[in-house]
Amino acid sequence: MNIFKKGILALLALGLVISCGDDDSLTGPPGLSKITFSTLEVTVGPDKNGLEDGTYVTVKPTAIGVTSYLVDFGDGSAPVTVEEPGGTAVTASHDYSNEAQEATYTITVTAQSNRGLASVTKTEVITVEHEVTSISSASDSPIIMDENTYAIFSDGMEIDGALVAYSNNASNANFEAGDAEYNEVAVGDINNNVIQYSRLNGTNMATISFSTPITIADVFGSSGSADYFYIDLHSIHEIGVDMVKISLGGKTFEQALDNNVWTGLEIDLAAEGIAQIDDITLELGTGGTASNEATLNVDNIFLYREPLSVPDFTFDDDASDYDVTFTNASELATSYSWDFGDGTGSSTEENPTYSYTDDGLEKTYMVTLTTTNFLNKTTSITKEVTVGGPAGPINPDILKGDFEREGGLSSDDTNIRNAWKIATTTGSSNPFGTSSDGSCIDYEGTLGSKTRGAKWSGSQSANPDGTAVPGNTRYAYQAVTLSPNTDYIFEYEYAIKTGGAETNSIVASILNGHFSDSADAVASNALVKHVGTEAKGKFSDNSCSGGTTMKLQFRSNAVGEVAIFIYAVTDVDAYVDNVKVYPAE
């Protein structure tokens, strides 16, 4: 609740208190020679509708010998005349404008008489602060695949009553750049953050500016163009606006708002010819009405693309007869184009069968399936197909997956770290700190006393987006060669000392390929990835129940070249142990 910064001054009563006479046109007995204006009180409180926003004031003058008061509230509005009823307190109320968050006014009250007495004037200088009305509910989070969303302002997707943040987020936006009042409030059971822009009247506008302009063609990386701009808008008409003008990329759009209803505005970027966004402005729309606080509520501002098709296929295991049946397993695909890898074979069928040349030899072909999405954008996947004899699975050997020293030698820590190093990194030269606080389960799965493990401290953490803090961040990396196009299990244990979700995490993934640079590894699309946030203490805490075991299934790529990649985003100690990769049953 906003209050007066300047306290209300109680003026000393002047002269003697004289009881009222019988003359109904003059307060006080006949024969007064002047008006005695004793006090002027100014108070703030709720208006006639119960709204208490800091701008509704009541003036209460007290004087003897008056028949009326002329009240000027000092904001340019017409003065108000109130009659002295005799024996009853006189009050005059006024609701100041909400266009300014803070304003100072001089209230002037003139005590008047119709009996020829000279008028007497008192003034009171006040400062009022206006508090806007917070929104109480927010729109539902949009359901769009995370990798296809670039959030400018959004908590993310609602999953099981919780908001899961988008991984693609604008990091260079200034939401307070305009002259409208900016406020951010958390609403609803899940504390969804919503922007409130108030005083969107006259020339005031809200501006979201970007220190680095958003290039539409590269929102999702090189050649990763966004298709649409989206924003959710809401206003309660009696304290807000009913029409909004939105400007971005050199184009202007008008959106009418229903009272107290969330409205989503979607803009087709290609159709509008918008190639770059330097800023986004929101202001009162043409012919719109701004009432009271002129507040606009905003949520879910993001760019997104029509989800790309996800190509995938399987093929019969027995290809010894050189006839291979391919079964489409793609998602979001609207068309199919097959290249069977022998230089001549192709098809546009969804589930084709192709006959390779039977020359009696075992041969391997690289088969590519290209699919298109709703907007005819293509995505491809390539798999290795062997005819004339099946390829057997490989059970890989993970070097130092148990992080144990050979023969208990402390110098073997160097060999452990070397087994997990990536060639180039902007972080520390070591991948982690070895620790005696490893898992109580050994590499064979037997529960016992704690073993050695890998350790990350707060000073070795990555940034929340996985990028390195120069000189500090440590990545654990190991290249692995698997049987192509085969299902595997990636297993490991992790433990976080304290904290957990949104503050401390272990990020572990299987990368699609081999890498020599940590920056390239972080930026790549993993075959499988998990962000572990369970914080149950060290492995050995709580009777050796502090660890969390993860088993993630993935399918190896067409050449079988994958990599294990682990790092921490943490300000406390976090641990990893017993890293394994083995064929799925």
The pTM of this model reads: 0.49
Taken in order of first residue, the domains within the chain and their CATH numbers are 36-129 (2.60.40.10), 146-304 (2.60.120), 315-387 (2.60.40.10), 406-583 (2.60.120)
Predicted confidence at residue 4, as pLDDT, reads 34
pLDDT digits (tens, 9 = 90+) for 48-67: 878 788 889 999 999 988 99
Query: Cβ-count burial of 157 within 10 angstroms (0-12 exposed, 13-18 middle, 19+ buried)?
Result: middle
**Which residue, chain included where needed, has tokens 């750049």?**
177
Task: For residues 424 and 449, give the distance between their C-alpha atoms in angstroms, rounded to a whole number.
Answer: 36
| Average pLDDT in the chain | 88
Res 18 pLDDT > 50: no
Predicted confidence at residue 27, as pLDDT, reads 46
Task: Kindly state the average pLDDT of the residues 414-426.
Answer: 91
Task: For residues 217 and 305, give the distance between their C-alpha atoms in angstroms, rounded to a whole number.
Answer: 11
pLDDT digits (tens, 9 = 90+) for 226-246: 999 999 999 999 999 999 999
3-state SS, residue 307: coil
Task: Kindly report the number of other CB atoms within 10 A of residue 378's CB atom.
Answer: 13
Predicted confidence at residue 466, as pLDDT, reads 94
DSSP characters over 230-247 = EEEEE--GGGBBSEEEEE
Predicted confidence at residue 318, as pLDDT, reads 58
pLDDT grade, residue 408 (50/70/90)?
low
Task: For residues 282 and 175, give the distance between their C-alpha atoms in angstroms, rounded to a whole number.
Answer: 11
Predicted confidence at residue 413, as pLDDT, reads 87
pLDDT digits (tens, 9 = 90+) for 493-503: 999 998 877 78
11-20, 109-118, 427-436: segment of lowest average pLDDT: 11-20
174-178, 425-429, 443-447, 517-521: segment of lowest average pLDDT: 425-429
**CA nearest neighbour of 10 among 103, 127, 122, 86:** 122
3-state SS, residue 431: coil
Res 306 pLDDT > 90: no
The CA dihedral of 176, 177, 178, 184, to the nearest 10 degrees, is -10
pLDDT grade, residue 88 (50/70/90)?
low
> Is the Cβ–Cβ distance between 349 and 355 less than 8 Å?
no
**CA nearest neighbour of 337 among 378, 365, 307, 374:** 378
Predicted confidence at residue 107, as pLDDT, reads 96
Compute the 3-state secondary structure of the chain and give helix, strand, coil in percent, each to the nearest 5.
5, 40, 50
211-225, 253-267, 338-352: segment of lowest average pLDDT: 211-225
